[in-house]
Structure 1
């Protein structure tokens, strides 16, 4: 079953310029903290291959059983979907774009389970030819999708509005719920869905909140909200993350040559 005996999940890195205690700025490579802790708590092992040369991409993908694209304060470069950068304060993470987008396409082709959370869902949509609203605050609508910067971090990740699942869809099946409250702390969101993607949930203003690859036999999902936060107690979040974990175990079994995925307890 592999050296570690558990599924290994590639957490895609982000790249940020951060200010240290001496007030000097320096470029750092970061991986999603809550995402990797959730993976560990659910019995999986996170790894990361930052700045991987693209000629090594397929070989590296062959060593993992899942991909997690977490959130970030940075934005997908709008020039990738044919638009200029609309606001000068946007932080663009070109290195993440250049690695994540071909990785997304290859993971889907190789049927490696893939989950994109917030910015990660934007990566998925743009990698598959979609586009984004660059600044939701400029759009009319009664739903507030962004956080209050004065709130504590736990309050920022609390449920802010409801999402409604597509009736009879895969998300309704997974969560066993047609409508549930969700977190919302983002200024960008799906404008046009990428090729091959199916919308599975919307906010009350019509914004896409969850989508998947059209083939339900491939676990490739994007969520505008954060099921990795609160998965222990939020029923929809827990069922989403459990579905992802099961997909990773199934891939792990196939990669190891087993005929059936082992049943593994999930910490709840």
Structure 2
């Protein structure tokens, strides 16, 4: 699409990685699958890495959506009143600081939010919720975590089923009450934050999707990854389309530009 389009702030992560000379070096990383998905759906991904907190509100006024993707790091448990359960857990204090403030401000200013995996954990904690720090340590869980020796496509393949709340918003958006979902995470929602409503669960009861209580604002957390496989997975496709539509509505309200007429492609089919 030519001309101005909605911009989506893809929240960056920060990691210590090996450079080409095998030295430890700090890098700022931006979620690849998330940004390519919004780009392919006609929006423009962007980022403001390490934005000082006193600039966040002004920067937020330049975008029409927020995307918080996954990461190998964890939300620091100090943010929900706990100590780390294990030594060697990876944290990202810079992402914590920015994401917590950005999510709360985006809710207040009614900017659409979509969050996946660690991103949905950012969202839950920002609203005062807490996390299970290590699902592998809990008996009776379905397998939520990936095998490290799997190929990347296998790690993002559907691992278990999720069931939507009967008559809920996710069932309405997807048109499905139960569907297979990807799952590669060690942590998950323990207590939902204030104002958040559960919309889907795994068979062991773990929250797999939640939203802001006011459905007129698209602000969602997904423990699975709709940004992977959205071209063919019908639930993922409809989730991403709903987010894109919300970003266009925000863009139209912000700029006065018309909302494009939705196209009607052939519906995606399950493989």
User: Which consecutive aligned stretches of 4+ in structure 1 deviate over 6 angstroms post-superposition?
Assistant: none
Q: For residues 82-122 of structure 1, what are the alpha-carbon distances to aligned partners after superposition, in whole Å with 9 as ceiling and x for unaligned?
A: 00011112111000000011100010111100001000000
Are the aligned partners of 1:42 and 1:266 in contact in 2 as well (CA < 8 Å)? no
Tell me how far apart the structure 2 counterparts of residues 235 and 40 of structure 1 sit (CA, whole Å).
Answer: 19
Question: What's the counterpart of residue 108 of structure 2?
Answer: 109
Match in the other structure for 1:98: 97
Q: 1:242, 1:196 → 2: CA distance?
A: 24
In the other structure, the counterpart of 1:28 is: 27
Mark the runs of 5 or more structure 1 residues left unpaired by the alignment.
Answer: none
The CA distance in 1 between the partners of 2:25 and 2:14, in whole Å, is 10
Corresponding residue of 1:128: 127
Where 1:79 maps in the other structure, the secondary structure is: helix
| Aligned mates of 1:265, 1:125 — CA distance in 2 | 33
Give the Cα separation in 2 of the matches to 1:265 and 1:57: 34
Partner of 1:263: 261
Q: Deviations over 1:43-101 (max 9, x none)?
A: 00000001101111110000000000000000000000000011112111000000011
Matched, 1:74 2:100: no
Q: How many residues align?
A: 265
Within-5 A mapping of 1:54-203: 54-203=53-202
Q: CA RMSD in A?
A: 1.3
| Aligned counterparts of 2:147 and 2:108: Cα–Cα separation in 1 | 39
Q: Distance in 1 between matches of 2:27 and 2:205?
A: 36
Aligned partner of residue 36 in structure 2, secondary structure: helix
The equivalences for 1:217-256 within 5 A come to 217-256=216-255
> For the Cα contact (< 8 Å) 1:40–1:46, is it kept in 2?
yes
TM-score, normalised with respect to structure 1: 0.96
Question: Aligned-pair distance for 1:210?
Answer: 0.1
Alpha-carbon distance between aligned partners in 1 of 2:3 and 2:119, rounded to the nearest angstrom:
26
> Does the 8 Å CA contact 2:135/2:141 hold for their aligned counterparts?
no
TM-score normalised by length of structure 2:
0.95
SS of the residue corresponding to residue 206 of structure 1 reads coil
Unaligned runs of 5+ in 2: none
CA distance in 1, matches of 2:69, 2:185: 13
Name the counterpart of 1:214: 213
Q: Is the 8 A contact 1:43 1:266 kept in 2?
A: no
Does the 8 Å CA contact 1:17/1:27 hold for their aligned counterparts?
Answer: yes
